[in-house]
Amino acid sequence: MNLTEQIKAQAQKLGFELVGIIPVKPSQTVDYYEQWLKKGYAGEMAYLEKHLPLKQDPRHILPEAQSIIALALNYYTLDPPQSIAADPSRGQISRYAWGTDYHDLIRSKLDRLATFIQSTAEAEVKTRVYVDTAPVLEREYTERAGIGWIAKNTNVINWQAGSWFFLAGILVSIKLETDTPSLRGSCGTCTRCIEACPTDAILAPNILDSRLCISYLTIELKGSIPHELRPGMGNLIFGCDICQEVCPWNSKAVPTKERGFRPRQGNLAPKLLSLINMTQEQFSKRFRNSPIKRAKRRGFLRNVAVALGNWKNRAAVPALKQALNDDEPLIRGHAAWALGQIGGSAARKALQARLEVEAHTDIVTEIKEALNQNLSKD
C-alpha cells in the first residue's frame, strides 16, 4: 500500500469509519459563514467571530499544510426505552454526551494517527489535528472529502451512516493522493427537521439561528434563558437531538464500536429530582470527563429547573423550594419560574418566603412574575 492507503487503513483501525483526503485550499464557504455571524445567529459565542480570520484558509493554522485528512467517528449507541424517553420526570441528555468527553477520546486517536503518519512517511511531516474546538470549517472539508453533505439542519449526513458522528481531521504538510468523490444522497424535499424543532431554530434550509437552538440554550448560553423559549425545551437538559431523531437517513445508523460513547450510569434520562439540588462536589464527581461539565453546575441546574417547570408536577415543589435558596442567582431565578409554572399554595408560600429575603433585582422580578403565574394555577 502507498502512504495514502496506509493512512486510511490506520484511521479505520483507530475507529474512524469514514475517511476522505483533499488538497488544502482557501475556504469556499467562509463568506457565507461571515454573513451568518453578522446576522447575530451565533448569539454569545464570540469566539466564533474571533476565529473568523483563521477559518479563511487552513494554512493560517499550519502554513506548511498541503493535504487535509477529513474523518468521521460514529457515536450512535442505542435508543432509550420509550418508557423513559417519554417520561417528563426525567431529563433528556443529548446522545453525544452520554459517555466520555469526545474531545479527549478523539484527540487521542488523532494524535496516534499523526504519529503513525510521521513515522511512516519518508519525509518529515508537520501535522495539526482538530476536533470542533479548532478554527476550522470542518463541515466544508468533510463535504468536499465526500464523507457526507451539509443537511438542512446544518449537520453532515452520510448516505450510509446518517448523521450520528463526530467530525475531525488532520492537516499534513505533505501531498497525499486525494479523493474526488461524487456525493451520494441529499435531503431532497424533506423538511422534517425544520418542522420538528420545538423552538423554530432552523429558519430555512441550512440556516440555523443558534439563539433559538436548545443545544445553544442549554450549553453555550451562560445567562438566563428567555422566558418565551423555556416551554419549548420540554425536559431537554443538555443539548438536543430532535432534528437528528426525525431524520430518515438516521434509520440506517448502526451502533458504534467505541466503548467510550456508551451511556454512563445515570446519563440515560436521569430523574430530574435527583439532579436539581446537586452540590458542586457532586456535580464535579458525577460529570468528570463528561461533556456535561461544559455547562457548569449553574447552567446545568438552570436547565433542570426549566425541565421541572415544564413537568408541572407538584411533587417537584420541595426540591425547587430548596433550589430557590441556592447560592447561584441563575438557579434561584429559574427555580422561581418553575414554581410559578407548577402553581399551588406550597409553591406560592416558597416564592413569598424567598421574596422577603431576595436581594438580587433580576431574581426579585422572576419571583414576582412567578407569583403572578402561580395565582392563575390554583
Cα separations in angstroms, 352 against 338, 339, 364, 375: 14, 11, 10, 12
Beta bridge partners of 70: 20, 169
Extended strands (E) in the chain: 18-23, 67-74, 92-93, 127-130, 149-150, 156-157, 165-172, 202-204, 207-208, 236-238
Position of cell 440506517? 252
How many other C-beta atoms are found inside a 10 Å radius of the C-beta of residue 19?
Answer: 22
Show Cβ contacts of residue 155 under 8 Å, excluding neighbours closer than 6 positions: 163, 243, 244
Which residue type does 240 have?
Answer: C
Cβ-contact 126, 62 below 8 angstroms: yes
* 257 neighbors 15 (Cβ within 8 angstroms): yes
Residue with cell 417520561: 87
- One-letter amino acid for residue 247 of the chain: C
132 tagged catalytic: yes
Rounded-to-integer distance, Cα 325 and Cα 207, Å: 40
Out of 31, 111, 132, 200, the active site residue is 132
Largest CA distance in the chain: 77
Identify the CA nearest to 334 among candidates 353, 319, 349, 314: 319
Nearest alpha-carbon partner for 152 in 204, 215, 211: 204
What is the amino acid identity at position 332?
R
Please say whether the beta carbons of 243 and 212 come within 8 A. Answer: no
* Distance from chain centroid for Cα 205: 19
The answer to whether 267 and 98 have CB atoms below 8 angstroms apart is yes
Collapsed DSSP state (helix, strand, coil) of residue 192: helix
- Contact predicate 18/165, CB 8 Å: yes
Question: Which residues are tagged catalytic?
Answer: 132
